Amino acid sequence: METAGAARLPVLELTGIGKEFGAIRALHGVDMQVFPGEVVGLMGDNGAGKSTLVKIIAGNFRPTLGEVRFDGNAVHFHRPIDARAVGIEVVYQDLALADNLTAAANVFLGRELKRKFGPFAFLDHNAMAARALELFGELRSETRPHDLVKQMSGGQRQAVAIARTRLSNARLVMMDEPTAAISVRQVEQVLSLIHRLKEQGVAVMLISHRMPDVFAVCDRVVVMRRGEKRADKPIRDTSPEEVTALITGAKEAA
Amino acid sequence: MAMPLETPISFTNVGRIKWWQRGIFASQTAYVLLALLGLLIAMHFASPYFFTQGNMQNVAKNFSFVAIATLGITFVIITGGIDLSVGSMMCFSAMITSMVMSGLSTPGMPGASLFVHLAADGKTVVANVPGLILLVSILAGLVTALLVGLVNGFCIAVLGLSPFVTTLGMLSIVRGLGYVVSNGRGSFPGGPDADFFYALTSGDLFGVPAPFIYLVILAVVMAIVLHHTSFGRHVFALGGNEKAAELTGIPVVRVKIEVYAICALAAGLQGIIVSGWLGSAPANMATSYELNVIAAAVIGGANLAGGVGGALGAIVGCVLLEVIRNGLVLAQVSSYWQQTLVGVIIILAVLVDRIRSRIA
């Protein structure tokens, strides 16, 4: 997979990304490339700069220094919607779901399907429920489109949040700790979803603390420490022990 | 792009939620509606006058006088906001309407020559186009309310002020402006279109009070907007999880401004209707009505924390309050008890809902 990916152009290319919050330097000189159909694990301890990096790519923050290129073009995101417009989808750690709405309503939140009646546009409930059921089926999740999110298990919520990224033809999906709060069986489902995204040529960035998950699905692992990229190597050239050493700082760089 | 399914998904571990445990049946609105039906039956046995046509008309009219404003504030409450300026807005809008109406109907006043002329006898004022003055003056009242609502929305959505504080301030500002423009005196709808105005606001159609007809139409429109348009969906999403709404690309600022504008328009319309019934728009009209309106919305099932509410609930809340008021009068209970009872019912309604969600 990596050789096929390397021959193509990177979908996401970061050059010299730096971010400062007042006197705090959260990121410094991060270079990174992500290729289509590649799964990249982003690892690091709390405060290593993972979230800041993800938020810059997702359009929540603007970088103080450096350049973000998407599909070969330099991009400047002002809001998360701008990032979504070019094909970057994020599954947030807190999932960004509205508890009082149904699963289908959450999947289609902000991009509802509508039917026109003269000058008025009404929600197409049936079409949205049918498409949502299809997406949940793809994720192998037993989730009913008409159920309220507040009555759902952690795995079902995760499925709703991931189903949302499947609505558009996303080029890059970033998942923030998607396996942190769900059951073992559901972890399998999420990982198999990542495989499916990969088969479609979608690039996936997996931000996770769970070493087994990263080693199960990722092609490449990037390790952050103290705001800098300390390692970026194919998963087959490294080991959980080495990654742990890089995260904790026992090993400076690789 | 569709991914192949190995097998269709089965729901072995996830049961279907029973019909009485979801949707309208599981809401506070349903419980309050049941309580209301019980109350109606009890009233029927308690007083032979209750189910007479006259009394029913009276009840329908009376609750329509707060219910339209309650529909409006329900939008705001669903987004998790609050609007305390409703009562002042009712008064101000009614006042502007009747001042514009009498102003345009008085020959000699600026602009009046466009609308009226004196009849041959030199005394009778005749409208150039019947109904035009009415239209212009009602529009003036509604536009005034809309402007106030837009200011509320701007302060809350764009400047990020708290809805409570902003609308508390607006309560005082608008009431004050009402006294300023009227100099503390009441204003009366007058001129050639006044009869038309009274017919539209306090008249009836085949025995059904006009305000009740407006209420039903507006409630149906509101239910459709809330449940079948993306605007309604966004209103609920905003109350459920504002951050999620923002992240999924919902235009949060616009939706917020829109709900405060809708609330203001509803209050303005309500004020104009009430002034038609009163026959004037005194400067102290609808004082503290915002509390009745909020109480009705909350009893009907709107959640002040946001995310829950609806048109039916708003009406059920208003009807319940009015039936209790009416019932106490018929039962010759001192009207001072009414306020106490309303307070008890607000707490009971919310309490029952809390117990129910604990059990479920």
Task: Indicate whether B7 pLDDT > 70.
Answer: no
Mutate to test the interface with B, among A88, A92, A101, A165 (most CBs of B within 10 A): A101
- The 10s digit of each residue's pLDDT in A71-121 is 888 888 888 888 888 889 888 877 789 989 999 999 998 888 989 888 888
Tell me what pLDDT residue B1 has. Answer: 42
Task: For residue B99, give both structure tokens.
Answer: 């001042």
Domain final position from A144, A167, A190: A167
How far B237 CA lies from chain A's nearest CA (Å)? 6
What was the pLDDT predicted at A6?
47
Report pLDDT digits (tens) over B22-79.
666 677 888 889 889 998 898 888 888 888 888 888 888 888 889 999 999 999 999 9
The H-or-E segment that residue B133 falls in is helix B132-153
Does the pLDDT of residue B109 top 80, yes or no? no
- Mean pLDDT (whole number) for A14-28: 88
User: Do both A161 and A178 map to the same domain?
Assistant: no
In a domain, A9, yes or no: yes
What average pLDDT score do residues A9-16 get? Answer: 89
Same structural domain, A159 and A202: no
Q: Tell me whether residues A112 and B243 touch, CB distance under 8 A.
A: no
Give residue B203's identity as a one-letter amino acid code.
G
What own/partner pairs with CB < 8 Å and gap ≥ 24 does A7-10 have?
Answer: A8/A35, A8/A36, A9/A35, A9/A71, A9/A72, A10/A34, A10/A35, A10/A69
Residues A186 and A78 in one domain: yes
Q: Would you state the torsion angle of the CA atoms of residues B298, B304, B305, B308, taken in this order, to the nearest 10 degrees?
A: 50
Encode B177-212: b = buried (16+ Cβ within 10 Å), e = exposed: bbeeebeeebbbbbbbbbebbeebbbeeeeeebbbb
A187: domain CATH number? 3.40.50.300
- Is A250's Cβ below 8 Å from some Cβ in B? no
pLDDT at residue B107 greater than cutoff 50: yes
* SS3 assignment, position A221: strand
Q: Which of A112, A140, A167 corresponds to the end of one domain?
A: A167
Query: How far away is chain A from the Cα of B120, in angstroms, using its nearest Cα?
Result: 48
Query: What number is the average pLDDT over the span B280-308?
Result: 88
pLDDT at B236: 95
In a domain, A94, yes or no: no
pLDDT reported for residue B170: 95
The answer on pLDDT for A249 being more than 60 is: yes
Closest residue to B229, CB basis, from A121, A136, A148: A121
Contact B9 A105 (CB under 8 A): no
Q: Are residues A145 and A132 in the same domain?
A: yes
- A50 shares its domain with A119: no
pLDDT over 90, % of chain B: 41
Closest partner residue to A123 among B12, B229, B237, by Cβ? B229
pLDDT number for residue B3: 45
With beta carbons under 8 A apart, name residues in chain A contacting B245: 98, 109-110
**Lowest mean pLDDT, pick from A26-35, B136-145, B307-316, B338-347:** B338-347
- Is 90 exceeded by the pLDDT of residue B333? no
* Beta strands A39-44 and A220-225, pairing class: parallel
Block residue for tokens 């999420």:
A190
Residues of chain B above pLDDT 70, percent:
91
Partners of A67 in the beta sheet? A15
Q: Please tell me the predicted confidence (pLDDT) of residue B144.
A: 95
Q: Are A97 and A38 in contact (CB under 8 A)?
A: no
Alpha-carbon distance B150 to nearest alpha carbon in chain A (angstroms): 23
How far is residue B169's CA from residue B245's CA, in Å, rounded to a whole number? 28
Is A28 domain-assigned?
Answer: yes
Q: Which residues neighbour B117 within 8 Å (Cβ) at sequence distance 6 or greater? A: B107, B125, B126, B128
Tokens 């764009």 belong to B158
Question: Is A133 found in the same domain as A118?
Answer: yes
The answer to whether the CB atoms of B241 and A96 lie below 8 A apart is yes
Determine, for residues A140 and B9 on separate chains, whether the beta-carbon distance falls below 8 Å. Answer: yes
Residue A92 lies in a domain: no
List the single residue in A109, A121, A122 with the smallest CB-CB distance to B248. A109
Choice among A44-48, A186-190, B84-88, B177-181 with the minimum mean pLDDT: A186-190
Instruction: State the Cα–Cα distance between residues A94 and B244, nearest whole angstrom.
Output: 9
- Higher-scoring residue by pLDDT: B20, B292: B292
d(CA A42, CA A39): 10
Rounded to two decimals, the ipTM of the complex is: 0.81
A77 shares its domain with A183:
yes
The pLDDT-based confidence of B143 (bands split at 50, 70, 90) is very high
Residues of A in contact with B247 (CB under 8 A): 80, 90, 92, 96
Residue whose structure tokens are 């708003």: B314
Q: How far is CA B41 from the centre of its chain?
A: 27
The whole-angstrom separation of Cα B134 and Cα B144 is 15
Would you list the DSSP string of B277-320? HHTSB-TTTTTTHHHHHHHHHHHTT--TTSS---HHHHHHHHHH
Q: Do A110 and B10 touch (CB under 8 A)?
A: no
CB A209 within 8 A of CB A244: no
**Single residue among A152, A167, A182 that ends a domain in this structure:** A167
Domains of chain B: 50-359 (1.10.3470)
Query: pLDDT confidence of B273, banded at 50, 70, 90?
Result: very high
Q: Which two tokens stand for residue A27?
A: 């990121």
Query: CB-based contact (8 Å) between A100 and chain B?
Result: yes
pLDDT at B15 > cutoff 80: no
Beta strands in B95-203 (DSSP E): 116-118, 125-127
Report if residue A118 sits inside a domain.
yes
Q: Yes or no: say if B79 and B255 are a contact pair by the CB < 8 Å rule.
A: yes
Per-residue pLDDT, A1: 43
Residue A65 sits in the same domain as residue A189: yes
Q: What is the mean pLDDT of residues B76-92?
A: 94
Whether the per-residue pLDDT at B341 is higher than 90: the answer is: no
The total number of structural domains that make up chain A:
2
Tens digits of residue pLDDT in B216-260? 999 999 999 999 999 999 999 999 999 889 888 889 999 999 999
Same domain, A74 and A183: yes
Q: How many helices (H) and strands (E) does chain A have?
A: 9, 12
Domain that holds residue A153: 100-167
Contact residues on chain A for B9, CB-CB shorter than 8 A: 133, 136-137, 140-142
Nearest to A98 among B17, B230, B244 (CB): B244
Nearest by CB to residue A105, choosing from B233, B239, B249, is: B233
The nearest alpha carbon in chain A to B307 belongs to: A100
Q: Answer whether residue B164 shows pLDDT above 90.
A: yes
pTM of the model as a whole: 0.85
SS percent in chain A: helix, strand, coil, step 5: 35, 30, 35
Q: Would residue A95 count as lying in a domain?
A: no
A13 and A83, same domain (yes or no): yes
Rounded Cα gap, residues B38 and B30, in angstroms? 12
**Closest chain B CA to residue A82:** B249
What does DSSP say about strands A39-44 and A24-34: parallel, antiparallel, or unpaired? unpaired
Is position A254 within any domain? no
Residue A252 banded pLDDT, cuts 50, 70, 90:
confident
Q: Are strands A39-44 and A203-207 parallel, antiparallel or unpaired?
A: parallel
Is a pLDDT exceeding 90 seen at residue B182?
Answer: no
Q: Are B82 and B309 in contact (CB under 8 A)?
A: no
For the residues A36-47, what does the mean pLDDT come to?
A: 89
Res B97: pLDDT: 92
Report the pLDDT averaged over residues B302-327: 90
Q: Does A133 touch chain B (CB under 8 A)?
A: yes
